[in-house]
Amino acid sequence: MRRIDVPPVWLLGFVLLSWLQAKYLPLGLSLKGGFTGLLSGILIGGGILVVVLAAVEFRRHRTTIIPHETPSALVQSGIYKRSRNPIYVGDVLILAGLILRFDAIASLVLIPIFVWIIERRFILPEEDRLRRTFRADFARYEQKTRRWV
């Protein structure tokens, strides 16, 4: 069960929900237009960029990117200077961009639900592991770097 309990699977589920909402339950709501298309592209592209930058930092430090595993290094460089969880920030940007791309306006309510699930299922347990593993280093990092942005 742990294999499928990873953030990309949750993201895919929320993307699927928003696509289904747009296709079968549009509720007469629409933001279609050039600006919405541009904004969705910026959000999706920005989200992908943030995820890639974060993954590069994990690789550079030769530590795991898997949420349920204990990392061998505390990554604080690159994009991790700005956010303790840039991959999840990227996921939220991607979700928001796809919701706009699908014109699934009613699904915008899924964004805070997704954030809540990710925080409870992944961020809090990850931070607990980091706190136990890196003690003082994580305490300093936690003080100077925000959880999201």
Q: How far apart are CA 99 and CA 114, in angstroms?
A: 13
List of E strands, the chain: none
Whole-number pLDDT of residue 31: 86
How much is the pTM? 0.95
pLDDT in tens, 2-55: 578 999 999 999 999 999 999 999 988 788 888 999 999 999 999 999 999 999
**Helical residues (DSSP H) of 25-123, grouped into ranges:** 34-60, 86-102, 110-118
